[in-house]
Chain A
């Protein structure tokens, strides 16, 4: 892990090196971080918008449920739910999002929109509609296998609706192309930490092995 980080640091220190991120920083509007703060400073520092992309598609490649995949998102979801009058849509989740735990994580439950679908096609349709509508600040989906064209549709929908689209996929999807702005691979470890690999990010190379302590996110970082 350190090697990758050190490499990145080394590149940053190199004078005269053009970096895509500097380009984005050039305009005054882009000076302010416009992502949704993840609540994990180590992660924010590596993301183009200093947080989750506000109007784009994020992919989380997740080998099993219950490894901290929701705790990773919880601080940002809490920010969205308490600063926007928009819904946080959960489209056909694999289990029941447990209300007392969500509330304890700081989410306003009234902003949770739980969508149940009977078939995969309906779930994907609902996911796209929720992202496109402009009524949702964040949209979480568990669409299963997706084609490149489908990821592109979701990306466009999230752009149009200004939604933080977030889909959970199997690690096998790593080998497939995706239009998502941001791809993360999550790996649990024995020491309660969640290992995050940034497989794809805007304005940067892949970064591997970021260890996040999801049991105690630093709260209070709202954009």
Chain B
């Protein structure tokens, strides 16, 4: 009855986060012609069905930690329980400023300034020496954290990592939801991120790294024509060459030739470029545009969390499978827990004597190593699937393994603007979601969102559930509409009716169903039935009547 479309949630929660809006970035990288880019504006989210750009399927995400050097020091200070005041702070590398925090930036200190100059600009300045070892260690750990989002994570030292998003889009409900969740996760751990998506790893990285030292606009800056993108989302061709990871001497030579942006570089004939520059540059461009494959070596967890049990004789009933399942769960959970890790997905494989197999996947909202929860959820999910007869072996593979975060690891507590519910309620929400999804199916639970579309049936979407972050309390942003103008119950699809059954009240409004079929205007009426139900009726352009909702 209820349509469950798979549309990303509008980015309400991430308004003040540093997210490069990824759909457009992917668009720009995919087909880098300016004409195509003009189209991308128009084709954004026309309806809830077509919202996920098809080429986002191959999306690579680059997650950059622009402040990693400073954050490593801050985290150390927090760990040692030293007081961290809000004095302007800079990171110093070989006598020059390498990273600035918001306070130092406000004081006017720029990257590249000598330390002496910086101190003379801001007398209260605090500085840390760059510790590349600590940064790399932290980056490796951040890579492990990213395992909760994808099993293919690769490091891009010194300050970034790649996440192959293709396999995770469905689990997280689309690219935008995934990016929002990655961003929120790292913010809770005390790290600012810039995230970009593109069809190739290097394009994503260039987009994410572009414009690091540009001043951030105020979170709710009204001067920007597009309210949602916090950072200007550059088309790939507009990305400046400096700071995207090319060798500095080559950037300098190119700059001397008057070439400052990627687009200008891509326009140069490859052969001449190859004669004048090292082959690594041409190679970079080929990998950037996807002309050359760019395989990434995923960081590997030291171990696999995979156990199986072989049965002495074929098992026919699901009940009889419980003891072996309990055994493998105990082994997986023990091994996970011993390493401080948890899994977000349990992949079961049941193999029958005949060789037939059945795969059953159980997803978890939060990483867990809880054997009882594993068994309960697996059991519920198992009730919904048919297993082959005579199961001879049971295999459990714990996937999306990620460090279990103790409550105190959420250093910053709740994000600003999030309800201060602590983790207890969030845990209960995650448990309920797991339970319902295990028994009713992953698609059975959804949350609602409004979609900016004037067609009533397209103005809503059922979207994946937000587990951790509920939006700030207070009046929701969508409350602009007048109460009572739209019915609380919607019939989907509208139901053809005979108008004689209704007492028409007044014509509410005329709604065009789409710019491409202007002829198909609908006239909406409020009508009453004999039992005094208030209905939302419309007459289409052919004079047929439909019941579209109830003012319940």
Contact = CB atoms under 8 A, between A and B. Distances in A.
Question: Is chain B found bound to chain A in the same assembly?
Answer: yes
Interface of A: 63-71, 74, 82-87, 93-118, 122, 125-126, 129-130, 133-136, 188-190, 215
Contact of B487 (A82, A83, A84, A98): A98
A69 B552 contact: yes
Given A110-B9, A130-B432, 17 more contacts: A64-B531, A66-B533, A83-B473, A86-B429, A97-B448, A100-B450, A102-B488, A104-B481, A108-B470, A109-B449, A111-B470, A112-B448, A116-B443, A116-B446, A125-B439, A135-B429, A189-B532
B470 A113 contact: no
A111 B463 CA distance: 12
A129 B3 CA distance: 23
Interface stretch (B37-45, B305-313, B489-497): B489-497
Contacts of A70: 488-489, 552
B476 A133 contact: no
B486 A109 contact: no
Interface stretch (B23-31, B68-76, B102-110, B454-462): B454-462
Contacts of A65: 489, 533, 550, 552
B470 A85 contact: yes
A107 B476 contact: yes
B281 interface: no
Interface string B1-28: 1111000010011000000000000000
16 contacts: A67-B533, A68-B552, A82-B475, A85-B420, A93-B2, A95-B489, A95-B492, A104-B486, A110-B449, A113-B465, A114-B447, A116-B4, A125-B439, A126-B436, A126-B439, A130-B436
B448 A114 contact: yes
Contacts of B12: 110
Contacts of B484: 104, 215
A105 B478 CA distance: 10
B150 to A, nearest CB: 24
A98 B549 contact: yes
B218 interface: no
Contacts of A215: 484
Among A70, A86, A103, residue most surrounded by chain B Cβ atoms (within 10 Å): A103
Nearest to A132: B432
Contact of A95 (B421, B428, B491, B529): B491
Contacts of A99: 448-450, 459-461, 478
Contacts of B278: none
Given A86-B429, A98-B488, A122 B475 contact: no
Contacts of B489: 65-66, 70, 93-98
Contacts, number: 202
Contacts of B478: 99-100, 103-104, 109
Given A96-B2, A114-B462, A133-B428, A101 B487 contact: yes
B432 A98 contact: no
Interface of B: 1-4, 9, 12-13, 419-421, 425-426, 428-429, 431-433, 435-436, 439-440, 443-450, 456, 459-462, 465-466, 470-471, 473-476, 478-492, 529, 531-535, 549-552
A64 B501 CA distance: 15
Contacts of A114: 2, 445-448, 462
A190 B503 CA distance: 12
Given A66-B550, A108-B471, A109-B450, A87 B429 contact: yes
A65 to B, nearest CB: 5
Contacts of A101: 481, 483, 485-488
Nearest to B472: A108
Among B421, B432, B443, residue most surrounded by chain A Cβ atoms (within 10 Å): B432
Contacts of B425: 85-86, 134-135
Given A100-B478, A107-B476, A109-B476, A66 B462 contact: no
Contacts of B443: 116
A188 B474 CA distance: 32
Contacts of A118: 440
Nearest to A106: B479
B486 A115 contact: no
Contact of B432 (A68, A83, A135): A135
Contacts of A66: 487, 489, 529, 533-535, 550-552
A115 B533 contact: no
Contact of B435 (A84, A87, A106, A129): A129
A109 B492 CA distance: 19
Contact of B482 (A63, A71, A74, A104): A104
B106 to A, nearest CB: 33
B437 to A, nearest CB: 10
A215 B439 CA distance: 39
